Amino acid sequence: MFSIAFSQEKSIEKLIAAPNPFSNSTVISFDANSESKSTFTVKNILGKVVSQRTIQTMKGNNSFPFLKGDLTSGIYIYTIQNKENTISKRLVIQ
């Protein structure tokens, strides 16, 4: 006999973009429970990837700037993903 256990613990938590909405740049911050490579992705409302980069996350609080670049005003979805989980939130560019 065997058992399967599911962990309720998230490897990434407290994902925040501040300020949000923003006009030129914002700071993306989140907590991670371990060091890992993660992918930061921004998609438009149609689901098309408009920005993507790999980030090295450290245990504890992480933050990095996000510059709008040539993105136009509108609503976007930003995602942090590692091997364990994915968190997505809304981002508004004014």
Is residue 4 assigned to a domain? no
Dihedral pair phi/psi, residue 47, rounded to 5°: 90, 5
Domain at 45, CATH number: 2.60.40.3080
Is residue 34 assigned to a domain? yes
pTM exceeding 0.85:
yes
Is residue 35 assigned to a domain? yes
Tens digits of per-residue pLDDT, 75-88? 999 999 998 899 99
Rounded Cα gap, residues 79 and 94, in angstroms: 19
Tens digits of per-residue pLDDT, 36-74? 999 999 999 999 999 999 999 999 999 999 999 999 999
Structurally, how many domains does the chain consist of? 1
Is residue 7 assigned to a domain? no
Is residue 62 assigned to a domain? yes
Supply the pLDDT for residue 11. 86
Using the predicted structure, report yes or no on whether residue 4 has a pLDDT greater than 70: no
